[in-house]
Amino acid sequence: MTKKERVTVLARFNLLKGFEDIYPPEVFIWQWIETKAKEHFNLYNYEEIKLPIVESTDLFTRGIGEGTDIVEKEMYSFQDKSGRLLTLRPEGTASMVRCYVENNLFNRPSPQKFFYYGPMFRYERPQKGRQRQFYQIGAEALGIDNPAIEAEMLLMLSRLLKTLGLNSLNIEINSIGCDDCRPQYKKELRSFFEDKKSHLCVDCNRRYESNPLRILDCKVTNCIESRQGVPVLAQFLCPNCSRHYSALKGFLDEFQLRYVQNDNLVRGLDYYTRTTFEITTEALGAQKAVCAGGRYDRLVEQFGGPSTPAVGFAIGVERIVALLKDNYKEAQRESVFIAIIDEKAEKKAHKIAEDLRDKGIVVSVNFGKGSLKNQLRKADRLNSSHVIILGEEELSRDKLSWKNLRNHTQGEGKIDEFLTNIEVKA
């Protein structure tokens, strides 16, 4: 194929806008985050759940809410061959609740704590920190009314983020009330914005009718200006919601988790009740939230299950990866590379590789010919911590040469002794 033909073919198959290939070495950061998240979720007794990527469109329309941006503008929906309307999941909570109800998981002892990991799809305008396919690690706890669960979730998140080396993130919290107190607040908001409608953006004019709370987190300058003096939701909370919110803050104070109260944190999905929270950073520009969640006490019932309080969150993995680029070294994988400088050493090299793999060590053997210099370059590219060099001369003495590429030491030794003594940090 000529260069020109190749360019034409590639142009036809270009990666779609808003989608990403993730390959080594960056994929090692992803693996590290996933491993650490799973370890942390296990510590708090969350169990993994695997949910489908495609669901009926109706699930999200009902779960997330018809008037939301996600449902109105961002869903990847299509008809399958039998004419059913399906959607690539834009988030995990609706599927989690469907699964909980459909499989009668509510019959198991309460609480039920789950976590999931996988790609989500939203037809958004791609920009830094915002993709059309993005990964979430989410967790949901069902069956617990006590605000201690929100506090425990924030503890778990903060422990995980610290382990990942992210120490300076902000926890923002709010309460958006319940079906008893929110209608009154919506009324107040509508009358507050009534004579400001001409100043609000097109979306907020729509929100004025469907859900005026969403005007509170609009980023358009005119809408921000129109919010001057807006009534604060906290003043309209009913006694139960108010108690819940105070109790949550009490737990957070006790656990010495620093937080800020953000009266405008209303979230873009309709299922939330009472607590909402986000973990934010100033380091990523406009896409500040690396994690977001809240309580959704009505959703299980709405999907046909028994009345069940629930709370959860999802972490945006791309945004965590973007923050971690500086800590990259930590996420790198350690491995051994076996360089072969004489064809006769090839079989022995594979035997040694198997012995190392028995010990759980990651090994690559050089395939094909190449100068030692070239092979060392390959080892470097694979981020190997050690290189073993095998040639006919070494084999005749039952020895090998090694280099430690991390601390730049090198030596020679008996093969058996080397295999017994080698330590490679996983």
> Residue numbers of the site for ligand HAM (CB under 6 A)?
91-93, 122, 124, 130-131, 134, 136, 138, 140, 269, 289-294, 296, 312-314, 316, 318-319
CB of 106 to ligand HAM, least distance (A): 17
If the CB atoms of residues 168 and 256 are measured against ligand HAM, the closer one turns out to be 168
CB of 19 to ligand HAM, least distance (A): 11
The answer to whether residues 70 and 277 touch, using CB atoms and an 8 Å cutoff, is no
Please, which residues bridge with residue 139 across strands?
Answer: 115, 313
CB of 192 to ligand HAM, least distance (A): 25
If the CB atoms of residues 100 and 313 are measured against ligand HAM, the closer one turns out to be 313
CB of 268 to ligand HAM, least distance (A): 6
If the CB atoms of residues 242 and 287 are measured against ligand HAM, the closer one turns out to be 287
Give the residue closest to ligand HAM by C-beta.
316
The answer to whether residues 73 and 64 touch, using CB atoms and an 8 Å cutoff, is no
If the CB atoms of residues 33 and 405 are measured against ligand HAM, the closer one turns out to be 33
CB of 77 to ligand HAM, least distance (A): 16
CB of 75 to ligand HAM, least distance (A): 12
Which of 337, 281, 277 has its CA nearest to residue 311? 277
Instruction: Please report the DSSP string for 374-399 in residue order.
Output: HHHHHHHHTT-SEEEEE-HHHHHTTE
If the CB atoms of residues 291 and 415 are measured against ligand HAM, the closer one turns out to be 291
If the CB atoms of residues 18 and 370 are measured against ligand HAM, the closer one turns out to be 18
Q: Which two tokens stand for residue 321?
A: 């990866």
Residue 42 has what DSSP assignment?
H
The torsion of the CA quartet 13, 18, 24, 25, rounded to 10 degrees, works out to 140
CB of 294 to ligand HAM, least distance (A): 6
The answer to whether residues 412 and 390 touch, using CB atoms and an 8 Å cutoff, is no
CB of 94 to ligand HAM, least distance (A): 8
- Extract the runs of DSSP E, i.e. beta strands, from 170-274: 170-175, 260-261
Beta carbons within 8 Å of 52's beta carbon, 6+ residues apart: 89, 95
Which of 115, 118, 143 has its CA nearest to residue 47? 115
If the CB atoms of residues 56 and 383 are measured against ligand HAM, the closer one turns out to be 56
CB of 390 to ligand HAM, least distance (A): 46
Tell me the C-alpha distance between 269 and 267, whole Å: 6
Which of 134, 185, 86, 138 has its CA nearest to residue 321? 134
If the CB atoms of residues 46 and 296 are measured against ligand HAM, the closer one turns out to be 296
Beta carbons within 8 Å of 263's beta carbon, 6+ residues apart: 174, 216, 232, 233, 234
Q: Please report which helix (H) or strand (E) contains residue 91, including its range.
A: none
336-340 and 363-365 beta bridge pairing: parallel
Tell me the C-alpha distance between 411 and 17, whole Å: 50
If the CB atoms of residues 165 and 231 are measured against ligand HAM, the closer one turns out to be 165
If the CB atoms of residues 131 and 226 are measured against ligand HAM, the closer one turns out to be 131
CB of 291 to ligand HAM, least distance (A): 5
Please, which residues bridge with residue 127 across strands?
Answer: 130
Tell me the C-alpha distance between 64 and 121, whole Å: 14
Find where tokens 């995980």 sit: 160
